Structure 1
Amino acid sequence: MPRYEYRCRACGDTFELSRPMAESSAPAACPEGHEDTVKLLSTVAVGGTASAPAAGSTGGSGGGCCGGGCCG
């Protein structure tokens, strides 16, 4: 069952709930009993993978046409 993270607007507490996907947008009360909560985006949902820069695009000397002295 998926876990969803919420933040309480009243006290600022963050908490997680396990619930079916069909109930993912249903209101959730915080552990302190406050009803004004908001569902947060998961780090998996907003995370990505970093990739290495393409060869020759690092801006360093050597390896690039203009950095390697081949321009004329």
Structure 2
Amino acid sequence: MPRYDYRCRTCDSTFEASRPMSQANDPATCPNGHENSVKLLTTVGLAGAVSSSAPAGEPAGGGGCCGGGCCG
């Protein structure tokens, strides 16, 4: 089940809740019992895989601007 980050508007605490995707945008009750919360936008950091053919210390390329050779 996915985890989502929320911020309580009443006490300004940040907390996580595990819930189905269909309930992701529903308000969640904070650990202090307040029901006035908002879901936070979370980002996911992705890193490219290291290739054995890439010289040590150089990026393996692939994806992203300039990482895959798409920029001029």
Alignment partner, residue 16 of structure 1:
16
| Greater fraction of residues in helix | 1
Please state if 1:41 is matched with 2:41: yes
The amino acid of 2:28's aligned partner reads A
Say which one has the larger Rg.
1
- Aligned length, in residue pairs: 53
Deviating runs (4+, > 2 A) in structure 1?
Answer: 47-52
TM-score if structure 2 supplies the norm length?
0.59
Deviation by residue 1:16-49 (Cα, 9 ceiling, x = unmatched): 01111111112211010111100000122xx688
TM-score if structure 1 supplies the norm length?
0.59
In structure 2, distance between residues paired with 1:35 and 1:43: 24
Aligned-residue sequence identity (percent) comes to 58
In structure 1, distance between residues paired with 2:4 and 2:39: 7
